[in-house]
Amino acid sequence: MFKNTETFSSFSVDDIAKAKAFYGDRLGLDLIETPQGLALRPAGGGEVFIYPKKDHQPATFTVLNFKVKDIDQSVSDLAGIGITLESFGGDMQTDEKGIFRGKGSDPQVAWFRDPAGNYLSVIELASQASHSG
């Protein structure tokens, strides 16, 4: 039914100006400002739409994942621009750097939040690690 239909993902924030500064200026992503919000144009194609919502509640799940070749370098880069990583215990125990070190085919993941409190991550897939040379 939707095989040939274009799609896009979206999530809300409480302040579009802060989102524009964070995603565009701080993270360096391509954004297009529209009257309705921000169209984020990630590498590789597609679109993520960020829209304002007065009664915004931060997502309790990851809304955007950045696939990286070297998670340790990415975590260092995030720290270098003042971004604090989340720490977790239990099944998703993170190390002192804030990285969940997956085993075998599990990914390595580090989570952080945008100014609206939404979860984002940098993720290194096991298949990428063997190719990151």
Could you report the per-residue pLDDT of 39-89, keeping only the tens digit for each?
999 988 889 999 999 999 999 999 999 999 999 999 999 999 999 999 999
**Which residue has better confidence, 127 or 104?**
104
- For residue 55, the enclosing domain spans 9-129
- What is the pLDDT averaged over residues 12-20? 98
C-alpha atoms less than 13 angstroms from C-alpha of 107 in its C-beta half-sphere: 16
Q: Is residue 3 part of a domain?
A: no
C-beta separation of 63 from 119 below 8 A: yes
What is the number of structural domains in the chain?
1
pLDDT digits (tens, 9 = 90+) for 77-111: 999 999 999 999 998 899 999 999 988 888 999 99
9 closest CA partner among 41, 40, 44, 47: 47
Please check whether residue 60 lies inside any domain of the structure: yes
Dihedral in degrees, nearest 10, Cα atoms 112, 114, 115, 116: -110
Task: Give the CATH number, domain containing residue 90.
Answer: 3.10.180.10
For residue 95, being part of any structural domain is answered with yes
In a domain, 78, yes or no: yes
Q: Give the pLDDT confidence score for residue 130 in this predicted structure.
A: 45
pTM for this entry: 0.89
- Token pair 């260092």: residue: 76
What is the mean predicted confidence (pLDDT) over 22-34?
96
